[in-house]
Amino acid sequence: MSAAVLTASALGLSRNEADRRFPHAEDPAALVELRQEIFDTLKGGMWDRAWRVHDLEAMSEVESTYLVERGLMTPAFAEATGEGRGFAVYGAGEASLEINGVDHVRLLGFRPGDGLAALWTLLNLLDDRLETVLTYAFDPRWGYLTTNPGRAGSGMRVYATLHVPALMLTGRLAGAAVGALGQGLSMAPLWGGAGGIIQVSNAGRVGRPEKEILQHVEDISRGIVEKERSVRKMLLRESAVQTRDHIGRALGVAQHSWSMSFPEAVTLVSAGQVGLELGLADIPGMTATSAFGLISRLQPAHIVMEHMDVKTGCLESPEIDEIRARLLREEFAGAHVRS
């Protein structure tokens, strides 16, 4: 599957300790005790890479949002409060662990491009090693028990992030969404649908094996990707001038703006990526597969963490839009539409 269309993959595994009630109903002291047990386990010698434990109480909004933007923390966990919560990152960001969020344990992994198989291999290994210390709540009929009954079974949530602007532009995305829903998957716009970027995920089916879920999401995503490629070719064939005009205007705005919101930046980078893949645009230093990485770096917390003083920077600063525009001017310098 093309990494230019399947832009990112993510995986989550939810587990609960058999001898404790779910986090929302458990005594705070028991949650604190469980967190310490898990932290002690993370310090042990069974891991190939080190775990880095984060102090949630000392973490700023910018820092937690940065982790969310990297796919290492869920938005719900970042916004929640409560006793006994913990968080750790594995290695250089290969995976992460939320403790006492919605469930007692949630392992997370994120990769650019087509990385579901690699993510499953890693998270399955980490999960098995945690289970040597924790006793997971498991029912022979229902599988792993989770706070949300719809996720019981494998406890796994699979996400494929797709770049499908042609389907969105032509109104064909609704049909693809209905088809995915009929196959037991959900489809949701990412970043409000800016740039035609969506996420496909399993809606949760009790008792289905993990590898079968992974394959199902990959198969449906592959079908959507093929539809996107077909519609792009149709637009180029039937509306060549309008397609070039759309891409050319996007390049011009990117080259000459001095303040840029994130949704608009996503839309401009999306147009540039399509122009590259269709052979309509030259953008020195940028490839069709690097576009999603650029979008990630243009997110608010990324800009604060990487280009501003983290101690004084905030996510509402107008300087973020100014820096984002500068980064786009630099990225699109020398870009042009081929005649």
At residue 47, the pLDDT reads 97
- DSSP β-bridge partners for residue 6: 162
Give a yes or no: residue 273 inside a domain.
yes
Q: Which domain holds residue 87?
A: 6-230
Of the listed ranges 104-118, 139-153, 202-216, 318-332, the one predicted with least confidence: 202-216
Question: Rounded mean pLDDT of 313-327?
Answer: 93
Examine the domain organization and report whether 200 and 323 are in the same domain: no
Question: Rounded mean pLDDT of 171-190?
Answer: 91
pLDDT band at residue 101, thresholds of 50, 70 and 90? Answer: very high
Domain boundary among 230, 260, 278: 230
At residue 75, the pLDDT reads 96
Examine the domain organization and report whether 274 and 309 are in the same domain: yes
* 312 pLDDT higher than 80: no
Examine the domain organization and report whether 246 and 226 are in the same domain: no
Question: Rounded mean pLDDT of 242-253?
Answer: 96
At residue 236, the pLDDT reads 93
Examine the domain organization and report whether 66 and 204 are in the same domain: yes
Domain boundary among 202, 230, 258: 230
d(CA 331, CA 286): 7
Examine the domain organization and report whether 136 and 172 are in the same domain: yes
Quote the percentage of the chain above a pLDDT of 90: 81
User: Phi and psi for 160 in degrees, rounded to 5?
Assistant: -120, 120
At residue 4, the pLDDT reads 57
Domain boundary among 204, 230, 256: 230
At residue 205, the pLDDT reads 58
At residue 175, the pLDDT reads 92
Decide: 12 and 156 in contact? Cβ < 8 Å.
Answer: yes
Give a yes or no: residue 235 inside a domain.
no
Examine the domain organization and report whether 117 and 222 are in the same domain: yes
Give a yes or no: residue 254 inside a domain.
yes
User: Which of 71-78's residues contact partners 24+ apart within 8 Å by CB, and which partners?
Assistant: 71/8, 71/10, 71/108, 71/109, 71/110, 72/96, 72/108, 72/110, 73/98, 73/108, 74/12, 74/98, 74/101, 74/106, 74/108, 76/101, 76/102, 77/101, 77/102, 77/106
Examine the domain organization and report whether 84 and 182 are in the same domain: yes
Q: How many CB atoms lie within 10 A of CB 320?
A: 25
Examine the domain organization and report whether 182 and 266 are in the same domain: no
Question: Rounded mean pLDDT of 99-109?
Answer: 97
Question: Rounded mean pLDDT of 115-120?
Answer: 92
At residue 303, the pLDDT reads 96
Q: What angle do CA 276, 277, 280 make, to 5 degrees?
A: 50
Examine the domain organization and report whether 131 and 201 are in the same domain: yes
Examine the domain organization and report whether 137 and 257 are in the same domain: no
At residue 148, the pLDDT reads 85
Into how many domains does the chain fold? 2
**pLDDT, tens digit, for every residue of 192-212?**
999 999 999 997 655 678 899
Examine the domain organization and report whether 221 and 246 are in the same domain: no
Examine the domain organization and report whether 122 and 148 are in the same domain: yes
At residue 285, the pLDDT reads 81
Of the listed ranges 62-71, 162-171, 312-321, the one predicted with least confidence: 312-321
Give a yes or no: residue 320 inside a domain.
yes
Give a yes or no: residue 1 inside a domain.
no
Give a yes or no: residue 43 inside a domain.
yes
Give a yes or no: residue 289 inside a domain.
yes
At residue 21, the pLDDT reads 96
Question: Rounded mean pLDDT of 279-297?
Answer: 88
pLDDT band at residue 151, thresholds of 50, 70 and 90? Answer: confident
d(CA 143, CA 156): 11
**pLDDT, tens digit, for every residue of 5-60?**
768 899 999 999 999 999 999 999 999 999 999 999 999 889 999 999 999 999 99
pLDDT band at residue 311, thresholds of 50, 70 and 90? Answer: low
Q: What is the mean pLDDT of the chain?
A: 92
Instruction: Give the CATH number for residue 121.
Output: 3.30.590.10
